[in-house]
Amino acid sequence: GKSVLYCVFLHLQYSFSYMTEKHFLIESSDPALFYGVNNANLRLLRALCPKLRIVARDNVVRVIGSEEDMAAFDETFAALDRHCAKYNRLAEEDIINILKHRTAESDANSDTIVYSTGGRPIAPRSANQRKLVEAFRTNDMLFAVGPAGSGKTYTAIALAVRALKNKEVKKLILSRPAVEAGEKLGFLPGDMKEKIDPYLRPLYDALEEMIPPAKLQEYIETNVIQIAPLAFMRGRTLNDAVVILDEAQNTTSAQIKMFLTRMGWNTKMIITGDRTQIDLPHSVRSGLIEAIELLRGIPGIAFIEMDKGDIVRHKLVTRIVEAYEGANNRHYEEGKQ
């Protein structure tokens, strides 16, 4: 009897001597999405990898097993993390497909830029939005000009998020001029951040559709994503980034020149604006209009002109834009007489 127990002890000792422990970090995706509701994905992963002991806490997955099984899991874990980050979801069928080395979804010949937090594909929805996506591949600076609702800012942010997820850049910088359109900042309640945030809210809204809340908060806290008024750009050189200037029609000549000259190495800039919504005093010329006139024809700079045909909001938005365009044209003709 003692000899049998001794043999069992030696076998166990031999087995454990070949066990190894490794910690895997969930770096690209949101741990809550990775683990699933009530840790359903984690339980499935344990069931599909019975030879491994898998324990998770926060964004660290601790795995114990043989070196051979661990090597196979290493590849699987990286694929799961990439899938979760790319599609903003990780379903049971995705896990099974990845473990069986099958591609869960193919983006071949797809217009998809990124996926929303609900897993919905975000893709260009008009010809000019598609031109913006194509121009981003081949140019370092883009001007996207068009009416409200034409998707210029939303598409620009989607392109920036994709570049960040693909590790093409290290940070995203989004900015707007804080123009006092009808309200004086000094009379608004709160500290400076609370006064400025309403101007930047549309940028937050777009990001919240594309990046899970916990991951977005992490990016903002670590300055991977920076959202700030245009004045905060002064004196900086922006490297390894996608930089977006929204509502550029409300910049002065000096402001937009300051912004454009912040460009550093491995940086792409997207400048968006709407000529019909200039909130500057009548005596001040829009920096956006001046920049388009001065820079047109320079290699590496692309200009995308959007119109009411690109509007993807409620159908009434198109009619409202048409009504204001008609009124502006009538005033112009009356002024000539």
254-281 confidence digits (pLDDT tens) = 999 999 999 999 999 999 999 888 888 8
pLDDT, residue 313, reads 64
> Taking the mean position of all CA atoms in its chain, how far away is CA 112?
13
Q: Distance between CA 148 and CA 307 in Å, rounded?
A: 9
The one-letter amino acid at 256: I
Return the minimum-mean-pLDDT range out of 117-121, 171-175, 217-221.
117-121
Q: Rounded mean pLDDT of the chain? A: 82
For the segment 168-172, the average pLDDT, to the nearest whole number, is 94
Q: Distance between CA 187 and CA 110 in Å, rounded?
A: 49
308: left (phi over 0), alpha (psi -120 to 50) or beta: alpha
* Higher per-residue confidence, 16 vs 158: 158
For the segment 42-56, the average pLDDT, to the nearest whole number, is 89
For 244, residues 6+ apart whose C-beta sits below 8 A from its C-beta are 153, 156, 157, 160, 172, 173, 174, 175, 203, 269, 270, 271, 272
This prediction's pTM: 0.75
Q: Distance between CA 57 and CA 39 in Å, rounded?
A: 11
For the segment 305-314, the average pLDDT, to the nearest whole number, is 76
Angle between helices 287-295 and 253-260 (to 10 degrees): 50
The one-letter amino acid at 175: S
For the segment 212-218, the average pLDDT, to the nearest whole number, is 89
pLDDT, residue 207, reads 93
* Helix runs in the chain, H state only: 2-17, 31-35, 40-48, 67-87, 92-99, 127-138, 152-165, 192-210, 213-221, 253-260, 287-295, 315-336
161: buried, middle or exposed (CB in 10 Å: 19+, 13-18, 0-12)?
buried
pLDDT confidence bin for 157, thresholds 50/70/90: very high
* Higher per-residue confidence, 295 vs 184: 295
Dig out the tokens for 28 from the structure: 């690209």
